[in-house]
């Protein structure tokens, strides 16, 4: 497992101290790629830097984003942490299952691990880009973990797994795995055309329908060639419909 390919993504973190503590534990376990999406308090944040102590470089090198899609577009696989059941159709892995998959993927692909804000965790909309959901085992009567503690559990186990051999099975007939950006471009193309044919109606259901469509394709492990094929299929339908209209 290559830890340099693993990116910890904190969505709407609230406390600078928690961000600093998270940076510190990431450096403890050689996982130094930190991304922040819309941190609640001002950034750069003095409290985050002070709490990080000798991990100030992780804070200084953290990448800041305003949108979830931007933060993951160069990633190939995304794992979202959750402590509760969800009304989204995505496979929920226990921590060991997730670590085994990451160990398989990480040598050649960029991996993202999502963590939600301290008060509420990830929303269903935050899960759109995720391939898998991950549940960290805890006391069933007290599941809530501090943000930096949840990150420490994940980072420590990744550190341990990094010492194990990785198993990568290359399918000679499959092109490279699609990045999240490639999936996002395809989804925009698909949704734009669904709007044109009036599929995303009524208006009050449009947002939920789009979220469901995104979940379908983001949880799928699509290759670059498969994305091109799907785009080609849609383009063919558009051309066919245009030709029929002319006839």
Q: Report CA torsion sign: 110, 116, 121, 123.
A: negative
Question: What is residue 103's predicted lDDT score, i.e. its pLDDT?
Answer: 87
Instruction: Name the average pLDDT for the chain.
Output: 88
Token output for 120: 């509420």
What's the average model confidence in pLDDT over 223-231? 90
- CB atoms under 10 Å from CB of 216, counted, come to 12
**Cβ neighbours of residue 123 under 8 Å, at least 6 residues apart?**
116
Q: Place 176 in a pLDDT band, splitting at 50, 70 and 90.
A: confident
Strand partners, 78: 112
What's the average model confidence in pLDDT over 163-186? 74
Domain ranges of the chain: 3-161, 180-246
Q: Place 1 in a pLDDT band, splitting at 50, 70 and 90.
A: low
What's the average model confidence in pLDDT over 114-126? 90
Strand partners, 35: 9, 63
**DSSP tally for the chain: helices H, then strands E:** 9, 7
Q: What is the DSSP string of 160-186?
A: HHTTSPP-----TTS-PBPPHHHHHHH
Instruction: Write the pLDDT tens digit of every residue in 183-225.
Output: 999 999 999 999 988 899 999 999 999 999 998 898 888 888 9
pLDDT reading at 173 higher than 60: no
Question: What is residue 220's predicted lDDT score, i.e. its pLDDT?
Answer: 83
Pairwise CA distance, residues 48 & 28, whole Å: 16
Token output for 10: 């904190």
Instruction: Write the pLDDT tens digit of every residue in 28-77.
Output: 999 999 999 999 988 999 999 999 999 999 999 999 999 999 999 999 99
CATH of 3-161, one of 3.90.1150.10, 3.10.580.10, 3.40.1280.10, 3.40.50.20: 3.40.1280.10
Number of C-alpha atoms within 13 angstroms, CB side, residue 16?
14
- CB atoms under 10 Å from CB of 168, counted, come to 11
Number of C-alpha atoms within 13 angstroms, CB side, residue 185?
10
Instruction: Write the pLDDT tens digit of every residue in 177-189.
Output: 899 999 999 999 9
pLDDT reading at 12 higher than 70: yes
pLDDT reading at 155 higher than 90: yes
Give CA 206 to chain center in angstroms. Answer: 23
């Amino acid at each position: 497992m290559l830890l340099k390919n693993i990116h910890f993504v904190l969505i709407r973190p609230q406390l600078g101290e928690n961000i600093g503590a998270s940076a510190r534990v990431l450096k403890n376990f050689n996982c130094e790629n930190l991304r922040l999406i819309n941190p609640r308090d001002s950034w750069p944040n003095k409290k985050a830097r002070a709490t990080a102590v000798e991990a100030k470089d992780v804070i200084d090198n953290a990448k800041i984003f305003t949108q979830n899609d931007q933060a993951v577009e160069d990633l190939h696989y995304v794992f979202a942490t959750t402590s509760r059941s969800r009304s989204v159709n995505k496979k929920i892995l226990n921590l060991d299952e997730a670590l085994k998959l990451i160990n398989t993927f990480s040598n050649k692909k960029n991996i993202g691990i999502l963590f939600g804000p301290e008060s509420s965790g990830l929303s269903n909309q935050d899960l759109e880009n995720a391939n898998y959901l991950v549940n960290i085992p805890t006391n069933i009567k007290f599941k809530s973990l501090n943000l930096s503690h949840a990150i420490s559990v994940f980072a420590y186990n990744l550190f341990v797994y990094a010492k194990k051999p990785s198993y990568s099975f290359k399918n000679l007939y499959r092109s490279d795995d699609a990045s999240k950006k490639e999936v996002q471009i395809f989804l925009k193309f698909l949704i734009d055309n669904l709007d044109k044919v009036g599929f995303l109606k009524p208006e009050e259901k449009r947002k939920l329908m789009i979220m469901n469509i995104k979940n379908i394709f983001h949880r799928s492990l699509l290759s670059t060639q498969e994305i091109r094929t799907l785009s080609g299929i849609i383009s063919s339908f558009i051309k066919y419909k245009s030709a029929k209209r002319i006839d």
